[in-house]
Amino acid sequence: MDMPTVSDLVRTSNPGDWRPGDAWLAGGTVLFSYGSDSLQRLLDITGAGWEPLSVSDGGLEIAATCTIAELYAFPGTAPAGVRAEWRALDLVPLCCDSFVASFKVWNVSTVGGNICTGLPAGPMTALTAALDGIAVIHSPGGTSREIPVADLVIGDGRTALAPGELLRSVTLPAAALRARTAFRRQSLTNLGRSGALLIGRVDGDGTFVLTVTAATKRPVQLRFAALPTGVELRAQLSEQIDAELWHDDVHGLPEWRRYMTGRLAEEIRAELAASGSKEGSL
Ligand SMILES: Cc1cc2nc3c(=O)[nH]c(=O)nc-3n(C[C@H](O)[C@H](O)[C@H](O)COP(=O)(O)OP(=O)(O)OC[C@H]3O[C@@H](n4cnc5c(N)ncnc54)[C@H](O)[C@@H]3O)c2cc1C
């Protein structure tokens, strides 16, 4: 698509350089496919030199500029100890494969660009929200703030970013990366966009966290001190997801999304219950 009003491409990752009419440019797969007739400058962050993935005792820091291809490759190249301990890395290929995108898109589009686009079906939003990812945001005024990814995407194509704010990174805490997880995704067609994408997690202390994305306009997280019964889970789903929160577009009617969410949530609950008792009996 065209961008006839853009006059400059500026290479910077300094929010102080931002002014009204600017857009941060990462992989450009959204910006260049949607086009614009109002943007004046694109601020290209791809040369920022941020390390795509950094492992520490605290967890995994994913730079906003980390591409989907780099993230996908990570579990296969991570040190053996990290791979064995961080079982939730199993979610990485599942979420990357949830992109309905070509090889070209995979290799340039970024984790940050996916989250900042705010699509309900954004698989990087699903992955990082489900693992309690904390986003680091740099502001034009020179300050920084942190916010859970689950609170950063607030609606269909809407985020909690103020004008000019730049997503720098998302850190997945080690405790969440050590969790047992289960993943379910459903779309109307074989290669269609996700209509419901649910991730369940059981932490070391038994806490169960269910994250619903794609079916809802923004991520919804349910937390239980221990694995709930099916009845408890269903009750929380209907209590925490209002009728208007179910997403409605060509990729699925709200009623279908509501039904699939209930069904997939129960499958996740049952899978984690079964793997938990298997582990307990070893
Ligand atoms: C063929 C095709 C298939 C696609 N399939 C899918 C799909 O299945 N699921 C899906 O979710 N998306 C899909 N997309 C959309 C898009 O590719 C992804 O959302 C991608 O991850 C966006 O990343 P990007 O780096 O290309 O973002 P960009 O296009 O560079 O940026 C997207 C938006 O985010 C802003 N932005 C980017 N980085 C930052 C940052 N660090 N801080 C603040 N704002 C920022 C930009 O200003 C812009 O508004 C598809 C796109 C195409 C062209």
User: pLDDT digits over 52-64, tens only?
Assistant: 999 999 999 999 9
Main-chain dihedrals φ then ψ at residue 106, nearest 5 degrees: -55, -40
Do 209 and 198 contact (CB within 8 A), yes or no? no
Ligand 1 contacts CB of residue 62 (under 6 A):
no
Gap from CA of 222 to ligand 1 centroid (Å): 27
- Tens digits of per-residue pLDDT, 86-117? 999 999 999 999 998 888 899 999 999 999 99
Q: To test the ligand 1 pocket, which listed residue (116, 137, 168, 169) has its Cβ within 8 A of the most ligand atoms?
A: 116
The pLDDT, as a whole number, for residue 280 is 66
Q: Which residue is closest in CA terms to ligand 1's atom 3?
A: 101
Ligand 1 contacts CB of residue 29 (under 6 A):
yes
Q: How confident is the model at residue 119 (pLDDT cuts 50, 70, 90)?
A: very high
Residues forming a β-bridge with 173? 59
Burial of 102 (0-12, 13-18, 19+ CB in 10 A): exposed
Atom of ligand 1 nearest to the CA of 119: 11
Q: To test the ligand 1 pocket, which listed residue (105, 167, 191) has its Cβ within 8 A of the most ligand atoms?
A: 105
The pLDDT, as a whole number, for residue 63 is 98
The pLDDT, as a whole number, for residue 264 is 98
Q: Which residue is closest in CA terms to ligand 1's atom 18?
A: 114
The predicted model gives 118-143 an average pLDDT of 97
Q: To test the ligand 1 pocket, which listed residue (40, 102, 109) has its Cβ within 8 A of the most ligand atoms?
A: 109
CB proximity list for 93: less than 8 A, separation 6 or greater: 72, 75
Angstrom distance (rounded) from CA 151 to CA 141: 22
Atom of ligand 1 nearest to the CA of 98: 8
Angstrom distance (rounded) from CA 69 to CA 155: 26
Q: How much is the pTM? A: 0.96
Ligand 1 contacts CB of residue 26 (under 6 A):
yes
Ligand 1 contacts CB of residue 42 (under 6 A):
no
CB proximity list for 162: less than 8 A, separation 6 or greater: 139
The two three-digit tokens of residue 256, written as one number = 């279908």
Could you tell me whether strands 59-63 and 134-138 are parallel, antiparallel, or unpaired per DSSP bridges? unpaired
